Every structure is written in C-alpha cells, then in structure tokens.
A and B are shown apart, each in its own frame.
Chain A
Amino acid sequence: MNYAPTSISPAHSVHTKGAGEIRLVNLTKSFGDMDAVKDINLTIPHGSYCCLLGPSGCGKTTILRMIAGHETPTTGEIYIGDDMVVGKTPVERGTAMMFQSYALFPHLSVLDNVAFYLKMRGVGKEERRTRAREMLERVQLSHLANRMPAQLSGGQQQRVALARSLITNPKVLLLDEPLSALDEFLRLRMRGELKNLQDELGITFVHVTHTQPEAIALADMVVVMDTGRIEQAASANEIYNRPATPYVARFMGGQNVLTGRVESISPTGMVLKSEKGEIFNAPLTGAAPKLGEPVSISMRRDRISISKPQNGKGAQQADAVTGVVDSTEYQGSFVKVSIVLDGGETFVANMPDHEFFAEPVDHGVPVVARWKPEHVHVLSKADTEGTKDPYAGSGH
C-alpha cells in the first residue's frame, strides 16, 4: 500500500489535536465473578500508535472492545477526546474497529462492504459507490471491487477491512490482532504498511497483539498486560531496556532476571547476594531498599559473555553465574545459548555469531556467564515467580 501523499483526502485532517486521546479511568470489566480487566487507568495520547501486549486471556482484547463500544464496562469511564463515551455507539465515539477475522460481510461485494457505512448514513447509491471506489483505490484494490470477500486472499481481505474502517473517518482505529491470520511474509509487509498508514493519517491506533516483536516494531507506546492488569506502559525502547517488573522482563524476552538480598549499600550502588551466595553489583535507583530486602535485577541477553570456568573459580567472581549449557540455537546474526544455572533456572546469552564460533560451546559444557555492572537494571518489584521458564507461554 504505497500511499502517495497526494492520495490522502483532506477529510482526514479535520480532527483537531487531542481529539483522539483515549483515557481509561478506573476501568473494570467482570464476566460473572471473574475480572477480565481490573481497575485500569491509562492515557493513550492523540495520534500515537499504541500496542496492547500480553498473553491470551490477559484482558487486552476486552479493553479494545470496551473502547470500541462492543463491550460495556462493569465500572469505570472511557474518554475519547473530552467526551465520556460509555453507552455511545461506535460512530458517536469516532472509533472504527478492524476485527481479527476481518468480519467482511460475505453477502456483499468488496465495493458494497466498503460502502456499508455510507449506506447506513443514507448516502445515495451512486455517491457512496464513487466514494467507496476512491477508498479502494487508496488501498490499491479497485480492480477487485466487484469480487465477493470469499474470493479474496487473506491479505486482500485485510485491506478491504481496513478500507471499510477508514471510510468512517475515525479518530481512533482499533485493531484486534490484525496480523495474526497472515503468513510471515505478509505479516511483515502489512506491519510496515500499518505503521506508514498511521504516520500519514495521524490518528490514534490501538493495536492488540500477543507478539512482542510486532509491538516493539510498531508502537510508540507499549502496554504490557498480565491477567487484567497493566504491568507497564511506556515506549518500546523503555519497555525493552528498562522493564518495570520481572514479568515484563520475562515476557519481552530480551532479559535475564536474577534475585538477591541487599548485602550492603553505598552511595554509588548496592551489593546483592543470591541464595546460592553469588554477588551482584547493582546501581541504586530511586529510594534505597533496606538491608536484607530481596531485590530483582535484569540484564539484557546480548550483554552477557560466556567463558569456560577456570579451576572452578568462576563461582567466586562477582557479576557472574555458573551453569551448564542446555542448548544452542543459531539465529543468523547471533547464537542463543541457553544455560541451566546451578539452581535450575534458565539463563540466556545471545552471543554474536563470530564470537560464538571462535570458541563454541555445546550441550553439557559447564560455563560462566558474566556481565558488566553498568548493564544491570534494577526491577521495581522483587521476583516471586522463582525458577519459571521465562518463555513459557510467551510463544517466543
């Protein structure tokens, strides 16, 4: 979808600044006695690309559906711009939703699908077909105008769904796992197109996904969710490099999480001691914790170096852990080395491939994994999940 700048109709600039800001205030949704969404507060700035990220069942789709008006909040308020929109129809809200299944009307042609909104508005047949044809031209599908949805490929169906959403001239476009039904090649292409589209239209996009790379690649703002709660809402860079909680660190996948008790505190940092006696140096951020309090730290996988232990001295060094290589996975530009630590947790090092192949390690080889103290990030919450596999359920 190469949208030529001239093809953008001026109608899309009518929304004033701030019109597409979404504010969720103390939002809760219960199904029976189960809370799908628990007391959420979130502000999505106007014109931003926001990704709601989390495993299935975390409530991200429920939030999207509440913003869209297809689900009523149990308690709480939703504002779009300055308007409280709970109880309003999608058209009154200025939202348009793209459904996971695309939800194209199977009995209507592509053209009539796109023209549906105009038909509901009582626009005459000729005019609405002309306008729908223009919209189809923008998504480069005008040659398929008279086809039925069943005759289109997945990618084409998605463009039709996009055209059908955009013809309502929305302030907010809501996308429910829009890329999940596409194959890998199309997914990457559509991902780029969605981002370009959002840049051009300048409206707010809210995109639900369970795929971390998708969120990282697209979003100005990533909202990581777990069982109905927001774990962290920040820029992709922040989420990836400075996760707030062990959950976020694990879910985003680029981090290792370790926990220790505060041994000593100095003006420049603190020293942690793990249950096995390993010593970790960590910077001091925010309020200093008490001595003996558990603190979790994380470090990026690609900041880890691996060496073979020398005469069993590895365990005594600070800022290092020892373990046995469990598996190695070649990923093209790097090699993912999974190490089972002495305590049974998994620790992952992503090594540049030239470094790895200079001194390869294999399954069963004992190793020391080291990092520099400046690469340590302190998490706001101590880890309580223990030795759970960081990738369980995350799909990556």
Chain B
Amino acid sequence: MSAPALKEGRVSAATLPASRMKMTADSSGRKAWAPYLQVAPLTLVLLLFFAIPVALVVVVSFFRYQMLVGLVPDFTFKNYVDILTNPTNWSLYLSTFKFTIIVLAITFVLGFWISYFLVFHVRNLMTAIALFLICTVPFWTSNIIRMISWRPVLGREGLINQALQGMGVTAQPLDWLLYSDFSVIVAYVHLYTLFMIVPIFNSMARIDKSLLEAAVDGGASRWGVVWNVVLPLSKTGIALGSLFVVTLVMGDFSVVTVMSGGLSGSVTSGMFNDLQFLNYPRAAANAVILLIVVLLIAVAIFRLVDVRKELVR
C-alpha cells in the first residue's frame, strides 16, 4: 500500500507546472522526508497487523511439529506434503468451493436485481435510501444471533415444517431444512448478500439514466437494456462484490459449523482441528495454501474486470 502511495506522489510532482517544480526543487533539501512521514502511520499499521503476522504464518508453516512438544524450528515441506496428500483436506476444499460457487451465484442474482430495483425502479430518492437501509437491518445484530435465528424457522418443529404439515403438503417434517448444506447456504446468503448489493448498487447508481433511454431508442428490449448496458456497466461492482463473498465464504468457519450441526466442514475447520492438537505448523501451511488459492481467485477476478481503472474513474 505504501509503495503505490509513494509512486503517486512522484507522479504528481512530475506533472506539476515548471514554475512549481522549481519551488519543489529549491525546498527539496528540507522537505524530502515529508511524504515518507505522511505515509508512515499507514505503513506502520500495515506492517504490524498485516505483513508481520502473514510472514510469521509463512515461517511457522515450515516448522516441524512434535507431539507433546509443539513447535520445533526447522525448514521442512512435510506440512505441505501432509495437506496435499490428505484426502480429507481435498474434500474440505471441494466442499468449500461448492459452497462458494453456489453462494456466489445466489448472492449475485439477488444483489444485482435488488440493486437494479433500487436504482432504476424506485424513482424517489428518499424511498431508495430507506429501502437500502432496510437491507442493512440484519447487520444491526451479531452474526451468531442471525445464524441461530434460523433454527426456529428451519428446525424440525420450526415455522416452515409446521406450516407445511399444517397445510397438509407433507406428512413428516422435512429433515434437510436444518443441519444440512441447504441451511448452510441459506445462512451464507442471508449474511453476505449485502456485501454484493453495496458495490453493485454503487456502480449502478453511477450509470447515466439517459444511457438506458438511448438503448431503448436503439431498439433494445428490457432484457436487451439489462444485458447490453446495465450489466457491462455494473461489472466493477459485481467484481468487488464477488471478491467480498468469495473471501468471506472461503475463510468462514463458524457458519458452516453451526448451520450444518458439524456435518459439513470448511478448509478453516480443518485448520481449527489442527490448532486444537497444537499442530500450528500444519495449520499455518494450510493457511498459506488457502491464502494462495484466494489470491489466485482475486487475480482472476481482476483479470476479468479492471477494477482499479473503474475506481479511479
């Protein structure tokens, strides 16, 4: 983060008019350290809370684990080999990917249409803001409460099952509603849709309304307008929202544990198990692998959409 900031500083100095350049040159002796001082706080925060911890994890991932002793400094690839050859780990990754893709698809569809509705259908700005705030209401309570509140809805004696039985649709309560992949996905969608709505809403709000009319003028149908104008111009928001959802789901541990009743796991729950046996090196190796995987997904997303360019615009 500090490197681009410094680069920006140099660029803006280079584009200054000549007269001001001279002034900067004159005072350069005294003021050369000023920009470094300005970026110092952020650099320190990033070093302390991001770079150093990540470096520690990477270092520890090459340590050796010894039963009853714990960490033994070493340089071994054993932890990585362990993880990559363990079928349980592969299935955990597979299940995490599965959840990620399903949740990404659902939150994208929901996020896109909710944003579309708020931006293009609600004509009154106050109404749009009010509706937008309603979307954030679930975030006024804690994660855990929001998850647990699904139990009385989805449980065997829950709202849905009682309603279905009451209407005579089913004789027996449906088991797959709670403590299943279904309930995990429901909770993920509930928790993370807002992370999709906000960036998409933001990029849609910036679309000039006359573009939609110009498309209609050019013979586009309703779908034609969405497909040819709204969707391409919301790409940045979709990319950012996807990034949020992917990182949140890939790194999740509690939702999957609580909502599946321990039946499903995620990559992170594998790390949790290692940590309980004080096997820090293997947990660290797993964390490094997960980090690389998520980074690769992020790179892929940024390849598809030049988010930086769009944000600058």
A contacts, CB < 8 Å to B = 68-70, 89-91, 95-97, 99-101, 103-107, 116-117, 119-121, 164-165, 168
Contact = CB atoms under 8 A, between A and B. Distances in A.
Closest 5 CB pairs of A and B: A103-B214, A120-B219, A103-B210, A117-B218, A91-B219
Given A89-B216, A90-B219, A107-B232, 9 more contacts: A68-B213, A69-B216, A70-B217, A97-B214, A99-B214, A100-B210, A101-B208, A103-B211, A105-B228
Nearest to B231: A107
Nearest to A167: B218
Which of B214, B216, B219: most chain A CB closer than 10 A?
Answer: B214
A343 B36 CA distance: 70
Which of A70, A121, A164: most chain B CB closer than 10 A?
Answer: A70
B146 to A, nearest CB: 37
B233 A70 contact: no
A185 to B, nearest CB: 26
Contact of A117 (B210, B219, B229): B219
B216 A90 contact: yes
B220 interface: yes
A97 B211 contact: no
B232 A99 contact: no
B57 interface: no
Contacts of B229: 105
B233 to A, nearest CB: 6
Given A101-B208, A106-B233, A70 B216 contact: yes
Contacts of A164: 214, 218
A120 B219 CA distance: 6
A162 to B, nearest CB: 13
Nearest to A101: B210
Interface in B192-233: 208, 210-211, 213-221, 224, 228-229, 232-233
Which of B218, B220, B228, B233: most chain A CB closer than 10 A?
Answer: B218
Interface of B: 208, 210-211, 213-221, 224, 228-229, 232-233
Nearest to B216: A90
B219 A168 contact: yes
A321 to B, nearest CB: 48
B219 A105 contact: no
27 contacts: A70-B216, A70-B217, A89-B219, A95-B217, A97-B213, A100-B210, A101-B210, A103-B211, A103-B213, A103-B214, A104-B214, A105-B215, A106-B233, A107-B233, A116-B218, A116-B228, A117-B218, A119-B228, A120-B218, A120-B219, A120-B220, A120-B224, A121-B219, A164-B218, A165-B217, A168-B218, A168-B219
Contacts of A100: 210
B229 to A, nearest CB: 6
A90 B228 CA distance: 17
B309 to A, nearest CB: 11
Contacts of A105: 211, 214-215, 228-229
Given A103-B210, A105-B211, A116-B228, A97 B233 contact: no
Given A105-B229, A107-B232, A107-B233, A99 B219 contact: no
Contact of A70 (B213, B218, B224, B228): B213
A59 to B, nearest CB: 18
Contacts of B218: 91, 116-117, 120, 164, 168
Given A105-B229, A107-B232, A97 B219 contact: no
B217 A68 contact: yes
A119 B215 CA distance: 11
A117 B216 CA distance: 9
A371 to B, nearest CB: 47
